[in-house]
A and B are shown apart, each in its own frame.
Chain A
């Protein structure tokens, strides 16, 4: 599924980032490499943009951008947060 389809509170792991080159590069450089965990926090009042936490940092991206991030729901839904910030989820 894509990040745009997650629900508030979901913890997901990145599978792939699509879209145009500079968009993908920017996300990758921010640490959204495949395997990294994202927590979906919520949306802005008008439904757009979205808020998420990644590697100890709060980011906000537009819904159209979230549609280009493929993720999978991780097993550790609502489990305690990973102990070391930004640790990758083993595939």
Chain B
């Protein structure tokens, strides 16, 4: 794999979920969760997928993990299309891509001790391990995620949300992954704990050259950890850019509205900001607007926007926007 090949490349991903309308179908209705999503992420880097509810970011993450097969499109990992792989090869690849979950309370089996949770996952790598080797590994992983080794006898209900999330991370690391899909990993945590976990993610990335697909609804969080940010709305990517640019040079009307809606803690900065009011609500997934999905709420919408989606166009280094009016 050369320097310039991305570790993961998602191409024209589409995912629809069929709706069954009971006995009388007038037509086969389906919810389009993801519509023509493409992005690439390089080894050791992080891409942030940001958007509000219903934008398809979690579905994208799950497609990458092969939780469900996409309706069309491809997911290319190290040059191989994951969807084309047969069972054996897919099994070899599977442990390389792991997931961290949003809900620290549902992500651990309540009947398993911490030791057991990590050991089970570690020991499944197809090789035989001796007992003391396993013990060492468990201790090592606990230390890597900042937990004391005494915690291995405890059960999930005895630990806080932040600790549970760390166990989830340790479990993912036990598979020795290269790519981790992080699905809103800090949303359910207290503010002061969020920072601890975010820093942990960053440190781990540097130490182990991990690649992240970081899904979140909070742009501020993503900004700290991502190299590239993709803004999603109703299943499409509206804008992709370097994380550093997002506050400074957002171009897509949705991105601007999104940023404007998020207050900044810096008191003086906040007072200086111009606010963009955005009307209406996210349309229902069953009744997708034609053309660009954002046109119903966009203050710059023209008739072209109603008719067709704009292609992603490069407007600067690493900066792509899908909008007719930019």
Q: Do A and B bind each other?
A: no
User: Which B residues form the contact surface with A (CB < 8 A)?
Assistant: none
A residues apposed to B, CB below 8 Å: none
